[in-house]
Amino acid sequence: MEHLRKGSENALGRGRWAKYLLAFTIPAAVASSLWAEGGWAFGALVYAFGVLPALEAVLPPARANLTDLERNFVAADVRYDRLLWWMMPVQWALVLWFLADPGTDSVTYTGRIFALGLGCGVLGINVAHELGHRPDAFSQRLAHLLLASSLYTHFFIEHNRGHHRNVATPDDPATARRGEWVQVFWVRAVFGGLLGAWRLEADRLKRKGRSPWTWDNQFLRLQLLQWGLFALGWAGFGGHAALGWLAAAAFGGCLLETVNYIEHYGLQRERLNAHRYVPVEPEHSWNSDHVLGRMILFELSRHSDHHHVPSKPYAQLDHIDRAPQLPTGYPGMMLLSLIPPLFFRVMRPRLAAVPSGR
């Protein structure tokens, strides 16, 4: 009986983590673009926003959740975390590869910028997002380094301490208003996020009777980290390469904010009184169970459960029936959002069906 029990346990745990190896197709696509010349350098974009949306349009969503026994095995399996840890050296290897050879002709240079930008958004920011929610210092340091590779370190402060508190309210720059164009949202989200991160740290230090202009200000430390590394990149590889990295990071930031746009578009929490809103519930985030996006983005698209229980690791996130559902996966929705009238037409009836969207 003991042999059968152990065999059953091994069957439950064996290989389940391996499906997230699909996430490594993104750095592989980026690497292929950094190696390619001319129009082939745009291959990573074609994969992310051509191949993946087409596949998700025909593949059915996967809504099954883990059983309690499966959840226990997943929680004890360190391989899920190791997949995240490996993304830090992989991402920085891609950044250094680009800096060493950004391309000389304009087509190759532009294609490689977009490819690295894809890495900055998917690896640099998205993986940092998952690690940044972990309580241990090691995971958070990795998150800092990943965000520095994307020149987006303010996200660590604003997302964890601002967005999760203010989501689906007018106080959150990362929640898109109904009828707001994504191009307008980018500006509000980026600058609102920077300002929000600064205010959070300044207010924290003020409560301690400290000046914000001190080494204890995490916002300043993280800014020094990212711009110090950028200065080293400029000094070591020249302005042509460094400015390409800056453009790639800007594209990665736009990808992140586009994801924010589709995750909370038009949803809002009701006020309890002049100072408080109802607690965050699954219906305050859009969910997508489309399997490719789930695997490649480490379950980011199961966003409703993530906001409901922010501390839950990615591999344990659940489908929740009452959460509002997107019609397709993240890559397809990101493309759709770039055509606001069409995006609004698709989302209008879905918003009307959700209490937090009425």
- Which pLDDT tens digit goes with each residue over 200-219? 999 999 999 999 999 999 99
Contact 255, 122 (CB under 8 A): yes
Contact 304, 282 (CB under 8 A): yes
Span 239-246, average pLDDT: 98
The CA distance from 230 to 148, in Å, is 9
Strand, helix or coil for residue 7:
helix
Span 218-244, average pLDDT: 98
Question: Between the CA atoms of 50, 51, 52 and 58, what dihedral angle is there, to the nearest 10 degrees?
Answer: 110
Span 293-312, average pLDDT: 96
Domain ranges in the chain are 2-259
Q: Residue 187 above 50 pLDDT?
A: yes
Q: How confident is the model at residue 274 (pLDDT cuts 50, 70, 90)?
A: confident
Span 160-182, average pLDDT: 97
Q: Residue 2 above 80 pLDDT?
A: no
Span 323-341, average pLDDT: 97
What is the dihedral sign for C-alpha 121, 122, 126, 128?
A: negative
Least trusted range by pLDDT, from 6-20, 272-286, 313-327: 6-20
Residue-level pLDDT at 122? 97
Q: Residue 1 above 90 pLDDT?
A: no
Span 168-197, average pLDDT: 97
Length of the chain: 358
Q: How confident is the model at residue 57 (pLDDT cuts 50, 70, 90)?
A: very high
Residue-level pLDDT at 263? 98
The CA distance from 340 to 78, in Å, is 42
Residue-level pLDDT at 9? 46
Residue-level pLDDT at 356? 73
Q: Residue 3 above 60 pLDDT?
A: no
Question: Between the CA atoms of 18, 69, 282 and 271, what dihedral angle is there, to the nearest 10 degrees?
Answer: -130
Residue-level pLDDT at 358? 65
Span 134-153, average pLDDT: 97
Span 303-331, average pLDDT: 96
Least trusted range by pLDDT, from 31-45, 232-246, 262-276, 331-345: 262-276
Residue-level pLDDT at 320? 96
Q: Residue 8 above 90 pLDDT?
A: no
Q: How much of the chain exceeds pLDDT 70, in percent?
A: 96
Residue-level pLDDT at 357? 67
Residue 215: partners with Cβ closer than 8 Å, 6 or more residues away: 221
